[in-house]
Amino acid sequence: MSATYNFCAGPAMLPHAVMEKAQQELLDWNGQGVSVMETSHRSKEFIALTEQAESDLRELMNIPSNYHVLFMHGGGRGQFSAVVNNFLGEDGKALYLKGGQWSNAAVDEAIKLVGEDKIDSIEIVQKDNGLNKVVLPEFEGDKEQYRYLHYCPNETVNGIEIFDEIDCPWPVIADMSSTIMSREIDVSRFGVIYAGAQKNIGPSGLSIVIVRDELLALPSLKQSSIMDYRVAVKNGSMYNTPPTFAWYLAAEVFAWLKSLGGLKQVAIANEKKAQLLYQCIDSLAFYRNGVAVENRSNMNVTFQLADDALNDKFLAEAKAQGLIALKGHRVVGGMRASIYNAMPYEGVEKLVQFMEAFAKENA
Ligand SMILES: *Cc1c(COP(=O)(O)O)cnc(C)c1O
């Protein structure tokens, strides 16, 4: 069977080498004769795994020592309510930047919990020559006492990425579910970074939270212990039984990223993949991407065909060549190629060859 390249937005493909290692170790992890799934999370073997995972993640992202790293349940969306409950208290307000499907959903969840009076929001995507472009507001001298500003640097559905950092007087909380570890960032500029694991880290269900310690002094709302960051810190992310298999796979992904030379090298590879694909889209009148060049996502490349009636044919023929899960999200339509860290350059090359041939035959 020839290789299958999986362009799914999430759960996304995982590195082949990691999957092979997991397969080999499935029935006998660490010479114990049992799977990691069947191992106590409090065993010394598993604790060693979690320590290695945290230290690798800290090294990869260059996380300062005044930040906690938490491995939690509930994926990306679980954190939409967690940040509200952890930081808003009874009288706090927060500011949300709305730039697409996910940041908008975070606003809806926050309003559901504390009401519209406590949540301000700003639309940051504007049309510029028919293209979606992010225009960040100026916050200099802003006197509002927000507990935090929340935004999503990579809108997975819309294929919009914000490469600029946010300058504001409040702690910045970022939903990095679909961009975490795709390039180097300066963690110290963020109050909280969180991410559901299933795009760049591992299996769904797990989420990673990186939180600056001083934020934990903010008043929290009454909330379930399982999503309380302070409880998670106190218990080493083991207040209850953590998603151990997902944690194990995440640890393997971190080790794999280190073996590639860390995020600097990973970012170069991601840039190359994205350039190849956008260049194909731009060079053929048959395809169109609707995002301003400076906001084109390196992770989720969205594009429309010249004629929507060809979408099903495109998807079927791509699939026959082992190029799967290219269908765009239902709210935006068209196509979406998610090219996270685990997607090899060859996968994008093969997609581009297919797109060129398809355009020629169907133009
Ligand atoms: C996928 C995704 C989510 C949702 O993750 P779940 O684990 O399904 O809750 C949230 N935010 C962003 C940016 C995402 O890409």
**Measured in angstroms, how far is the CA atom of residue 75 from the centroid of ligand 1?**
7
What separation in angstroms does the CA of 267 have from each of 179, 254, 258, 273, 298? 11, 15, 13, 10, 9
Q: Is the pLDDT of residue 261 over 90?
A: yes
Closest CA to ligand 1's atom 3: 76
Mean pLDDT of 73-77: 97
Residue 150 confidence (pLDDT): 98
Binding site annotation covers 175? Answer: yes
Letter for the amino acid at 84?
Answer: V
Residue 2 confidence (pLDDT): 73
Determine the residue of 96, 155, 173, 178 to mutate for testing ligand 1's pocket, defined as the one with the most ligand atoms within 8 A of the Cβ atom: 178
% pLDDT > 70, the chain: 100
The structure's pTM equals 0.98
Q: Is the pLDDT of residue 215 over 90?
A: yes
Residue 111 confidence (pLDDT): 98
Binding site annotation covers 77? Answer: yes
Which residue ranges form the domains of the chain, and what is each CATH number? 17-259 (3.40.640.10), 261-362 (3.90.1150.10)
pLDDT band at 363 (very low <50, low <70, confident <90, very high): confident
Mean pLDDT of 56-72: 98
**Measured in angstroms, how far is the CA atom of residue 76 from the centroid of ligand 1?**
4
Residue 19 confidence (pLDDT): 97
**Measured in angstroms, how far is the CA atom of residue 9 from the centroid of ligand 1?**
10
For 154-209, the pLDDT digits (tens) are 999 999 999 999 999 999 999 999 999 999 999 999 999 999 999 999 999 999 99
pLDDT band at 104 (very low <50, low <70, confident <90, very high): very high
Average pLDDT over the chain, rounded to whole?
97
3-class secondary structure, 294: helix
Rounded Cα distance, 33 and 228, in Å:
35
Residue 250 CA, chain-centre distance (Å), reads: 13
Strands 160-161 and 146-151: unpaired
Residue 1 confidence (pLDDT): 53
pLDDT band at 214 (very low <50, low <70, confident <90, very high): very high
